[in-house]
């Protein structure tokens, strides 16, 4: 600090104290002393690591981690059974099955958790599988449910953790079965008096995992929240004029972050984005389900975090208990107990409740996957010294790759050395080293990276309000190929052509809104907009059991709420009463979504029926980036890393966002080929990669809505993955095949050109300056975002162009704004942006 700055800071804190009741004599000296003890943490940021017993525990943790691969807290474990899930439909269904079978305990850790999330769809026909109702049933059956969610900075993100907490706590009121069986903790605190030493306004708890009965666990990129459910065809449309009960994305769950961020998420029925006017932003993600010793390691991480949050925020609360673990008693208890006080408030509860040896994986019902849990964790997030075993794993595995590196990630911000401040994570250097080594050995080697075209934040990229989004993109381009320290330039400096080794793609999806003339007439005759019908439908299927952000009464418990509900439902009745009048009770010829046409055997757009004039159909075609949210690495069809960790400093350094991931290598090998040569691939890695590539190439059929008979929508203890064998499975078996690569790049070429031609989808390589932007995509209010760019293009030409799109692959536009300053001068490197954007 500059001279005098520290004294000014503490003077400000003193003034803040005087403005509170801390100086009120009625509060008492003890309360003031406690608060001042917290303020002392500002002076001693090392307060959890300076006493002798704390130093001893830190030394023990370090000693254990040093003995483990990647310096992880967890050892390598053999014999795990692990199953992959691609996209939310299969994952959420499997979670619903597993939760319903819980007998003792459920641990859930999420960045965001929406109590009103439907785990099965369509929601109207699966109301009992709304997340809060599933948890309520388990709590009433005696299951203890422990949940940790990120306590957001309200000014920065829209997830409402207070609503999450109060809605779930209100499910089992006092005097009813299950009361006290659901406990939700929020962390960190953003109050200087409550958490003075841990002012982490821009870092988040980012983990996404579930542990059930110490028997089974889920881990990956999917939070149990709005906006994540999706199927492999990735529909953008959800307009159902012939029956709103067929909606897939009710209320807040219909979202397009590129147009509008979530608004007032505690009002579950509300949605300011009209389905009749805009498409949603599709969501691509990957997660795992496992049985085996690694379940215990995931549970241990949760217990450590629970006890830390208890100690940090709830140590005086009788409602929050301490957790202990079988196998961590005695001298090892300190591994999961962070500064447990001498006179604790709350009980000590030992888990698991029944003997550990009763678990199926402890009885020899094991699988073939060698796995290890890794994490990013530190003092502010877990009360421990920094661990960045995720970064260690990524860097080591990538650097040792022999054939290919396949990455799907929400971000790609990394460094090749110490000259790219403020970026510090080492994944970029590992990619450089792997490519240079392969290039010098004359070995075919590819790094294939699939990331979003634009970070998922709302706004036109030309606007000042989008400066933060452009800053993230700027960091990504500088990580990839702009500037002497970028990956491309560092490879080139060693005489190797990076364009022979590194290839970067995005995903896009198109659809057609089913807003026909009949539906518009239905709106006009009833005097009700479809958007109000959306709200009414959400109201009807969501009202029961959903509560407000207070601990008092339900949102609809007062007269205002009841009247609003009555108004919406009456509006829906008026709308539906006109159905026969406008002919919608007859055979409906146009479909509610045509997303299946990009998939295998999905038909052609030009052959789809449209119950209206074809010129009107053009107004209903929409496209949007298919948002890649998964955090996935596959190397050589043998090793997989999956979890919550993005490729950026926030996720990788350990001192910022908290993360949990898992490294997996299947000892069950599959006879395969690699660049035409015989090759032993790991069954788990190879089958996952093959399914992903078939989805992206459009070589998988669209998913039916009923997942009940789909093996891939069941937990791992029910059945293994259905790898969906067939000619398409065989075609993508060799990841280095020239035929596969020709289709991969060919589809990306064609898809990119069609999205450019029809929609002027941005970003684009033709936009090198902001003037180019205006020429490529002029600003006007006549046409809505995501819709066709040229209203005079013949309808049949539009249909035939869309026929050419296969799958969802497009090239990432590496020349986008290459001749323009993407972020304002001075924004790119400072403490603020380092915390948020890197």
Residue labelled with tokens 């290598």:
665
Residue labelled with tokens 């990735």:
234
Specify the DSSP class assigned to residue 125.
G
Architecture of the domain defined by 387-511+627-811: 2-Layer Sandwich (3.30)
Which two structure tokens, joined as six digits, stand for 137? Answer: 């049933």
Residue labelled with tokens 């890197």:
838
**Among 215, 453, 422, 322, residue whose Cα is nearest residue 836:** 422
User: Residue 632 in contact with residue 625, Cβ under 8 Å?
Assistant: no
Q: Rounded to two decimals, what is the model's pTM?
A: 0.93
The one catalytic residue among 83, 269, 629, 787: 629
Active-site residue, 631 included:
yes
- Give 470: exposed, middle or buried? Use CB within 10 Å, 0-12, 13-18, 19+: buried
Residue 513 CB contacts under 8 Å (≥ 6 apart), including other chains: 237, 239, 275, 276, 277, 279, 620, 622
Cα first-last separation, the chain: 24
| H or E element in which residue 348 lies | strand 348-351
The one catalytic residue among 90, 189, 198, 213: 213
Given this model, what pLDDT does residue 611 score?
Answer: 85
Given this model, what pLDDT does residue 707 score?
Answer: 95
Q: Is the dihedral of CA 98, 302, 162, 152 positive or negative?
A: negative
- Give 72: exposed, middle or buried? Use CB within 10 Å, 0-12, 13-18, 19+: buried
Active-site residue, 208 included:
yes
The one catalytic residue among 301, 631, 684, 808: 631
The one catalytic residue among 151, 165, 206, 684: 206
The one catalytic residue among 187, 205, 208, 787: 208
**Among 789, 799, 257, 748, residue whose Cα is nearest residue 512:** 799
3-state secondary structure of 664: strand
| H or E element in which residue 642 lies | strand 639-643
Q: How far apart are CA 644 and CA 137, in angstroms?
A: 28
Q: How far apart are CA 660 and CA 57, in angstroms?
A: 21
Q: How far apart are CA 421 and CA 412, in angstroms?
A: 15
Report angle CA 99, 105, 110 to the nearest 5 degrees.
65
The one catalytic residue among 230, 636, 734, 762: 636
Which two structure tokens, joined as six digits, stand for 313? Answer: 């925020």
Given this model, what pLDDT does residue 372 score?
Answer: 98
Active-site residue, 790 included:
no
Active-site residue, 629 included:
yes
Given this model, what pLDDT does residue 508 score?
Answer: 98
Total Cβ atoms within 10 A of residue 814: 14
Specify the DSSP class assigned to residue 659.
E
For the chain, count helices (H), then strands (E): 23, 23
β partners of residue 388: 376
Cα 588 off chain centre by: 36
Mean pLDDT by 10 residues, the chain (838 residues): 34 38 36 47 77 93 97 97 98 98 98 96 94 98 98 79 96 96 92 54 90 98 97 96 87 88 80 89 98 97 96 91 92 85 88 91 86 96 96 98 98 94 94 98 98 90 89 95 97 98 98 91 87 81 52 45 77 80 66 96 95 90 97 98 97 96 98 98 98 98 95 98 98 98 98 97 97 90 83 94 98 97 63 59
Domain ranges of the chain: 5-43, 387-511+627-811
Residue labelled with tokens 């079988």:
326
């Amino acid at each position: 600090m500059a001279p005098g700055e520290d004294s000014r800071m503490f003077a400000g804190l003193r003034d803040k104290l005087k403005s509170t009741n801390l100086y009120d004599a009625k509060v008492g000296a003890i309360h003031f002393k406690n608060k001042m003890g917290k303020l002392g943490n500002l002076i001693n940021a090392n307060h959890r690591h300076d006493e002798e017993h704390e130093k001893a525990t830190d030394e023990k943790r370090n000693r254990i981690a040093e003995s483990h691969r990647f310096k992880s807290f967890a050892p390598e474990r053999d014999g795990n059974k692990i199953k992959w899930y691609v996209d939310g439909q299969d994952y959420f269904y499997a979670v619903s099955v597993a939760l319903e079978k819980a007998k003792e305990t459920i641990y859930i850790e999420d960045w965001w958790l929406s109590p009103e999330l439907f785990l099965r769809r369509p929601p109207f026909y699966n109301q009992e599988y709304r997340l809060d109702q599933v948890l309520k049933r388990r709590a009433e059956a005696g299951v203890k449910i422990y949940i940790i969610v990120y306590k957001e900075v309200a000014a920065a993100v829209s997830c409402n953790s207070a609503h999450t907490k109060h809605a779930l706590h209100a499910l089992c009121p006092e005097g009813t079965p299950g009361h006290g069986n659901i406990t939700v903790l929020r962390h960190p605190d953003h109050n200087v008096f409550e958490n003075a030493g841990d002012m982490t306004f821009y870092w988040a708890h980012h983990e996404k995992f579930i542990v059930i009965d110490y028997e089974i666990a889920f881990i990956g990129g999917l939070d149990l929240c709005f906006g994540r459910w999706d199927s492999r065809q990735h529909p953008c449309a959800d307009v159902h004029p012939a029956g709103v009960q067929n909606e897939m994305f009710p209320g807040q769950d219909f979202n397009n972050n590129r147009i509008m961020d979530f608004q007032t998420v505690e009002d579950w029925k509300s949605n300011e984005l009209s389905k009749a006017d805009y498409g949603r932003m599709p969501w691509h993600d990957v997660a795992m389900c496992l049985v085996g010793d690694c379940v215990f390691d995931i549970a241990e991480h949760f217990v450590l975090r629970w006890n830390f949050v208890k100690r940090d925020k709830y140590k005086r609360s009788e409602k929050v208990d301490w957790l202990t673990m079988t196998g961590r008693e005695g001298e090892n208890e300190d591994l999961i107990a962070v500064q447990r006080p001498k006179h604790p408030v709350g009980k000590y509860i030992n888990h698991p409740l029944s003997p550990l040896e009763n678990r199926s994986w402890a009885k020899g019902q094991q699988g073939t996957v060698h796995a290890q849990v890794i994490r990013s964790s530190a003092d502010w997030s877990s009360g421990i010294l920094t661990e960045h075993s995720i970064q260690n794993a990524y860097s080591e595995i990538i650097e040792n790759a022999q054939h290919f590196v396949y990455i799907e990630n929400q971000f790609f911000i990394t460094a090749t050395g110490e000259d790219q401040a403020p970026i510090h994570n080492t994944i970029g250097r590992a990619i450089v080293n792997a490519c240079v080594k392969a290039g010098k050995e004359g070995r075919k080697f590819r790094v294939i990276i699939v990331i979003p075209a634009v970070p998922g934040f709302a706004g036109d990229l030309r606007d000042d309000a989008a400066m933060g989004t452009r800053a993230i993109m700027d960091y990504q381009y500088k990580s990839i190929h702009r500037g002497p320290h970028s990956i491309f330039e560092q490879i080139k400096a060693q005489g190797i052509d990076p364009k022979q080794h590194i290839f970067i793609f995005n995903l896009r999806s198109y659809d057609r809104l089913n807003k026909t003339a009949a539906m518009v007439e239905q709106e006009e005759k009833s005097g009700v907009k479809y958007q109000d019908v959306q709200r009414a439908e959400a109201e009807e299927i969501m009202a029961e059991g959903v509560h407000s952000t207070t601990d008092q009464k339900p949102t609809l418990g007062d007269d205002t709420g009841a009247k609003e509900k009555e108004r919406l439902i009456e509006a829906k009745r008026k709308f539906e009463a006109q159905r026969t009048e406008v002919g919608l009770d007859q055979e409906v010829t146009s479909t509610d979504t045509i997303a299946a046409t990009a998939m295998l055997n999905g038909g052609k757009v030009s052959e789809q029926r449209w119950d209206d004039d074809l010129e009107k159909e053009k107004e209903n075609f929409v496209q949007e980036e298919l948002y890649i949210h998964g955090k996935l690495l596959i190397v050589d069809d043998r090793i997989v890393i999956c979890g919550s960790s993005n490729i950026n400093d926030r996720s990788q350094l350990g001192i910022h966002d908290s993360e949990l991931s898992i490294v997996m290598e299947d000892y069950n090998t599959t006879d395969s080929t690699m660049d035409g040569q015989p090759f032993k691939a790991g069954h788990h890695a190879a089958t996952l990669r093959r399914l992903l590539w078939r989805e992206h190439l459009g070589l998988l059929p669209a998913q039916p809505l009923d997942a009940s008979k789909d093996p891939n929508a069941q937990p791992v203890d029910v059945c293994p993955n259905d790898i969906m064998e067939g000619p398409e499975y065989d075609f993508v078996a060799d990841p280095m095949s020239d035929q596969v690569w020709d289709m991969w790049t060919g589809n990306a070429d064609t898809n990119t050109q069609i999205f450019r031609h029809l929609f002027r989808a941005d970003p684009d390589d033709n936009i090198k300056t902001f003037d180019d932007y205006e020429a490529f995509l002029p600003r006007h209010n006549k046409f809505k975002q995501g819709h066709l760019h040229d209203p005079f293009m013949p309808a049949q030409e539009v249909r035939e162009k869309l026929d050419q799109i296969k799958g969802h692959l497009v090239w990432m536009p590496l020349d986008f704004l290459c001749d323009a300053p993407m972020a304002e001068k001075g924004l790119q490197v400072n403490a603020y942006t380092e915390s948020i954007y890197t």
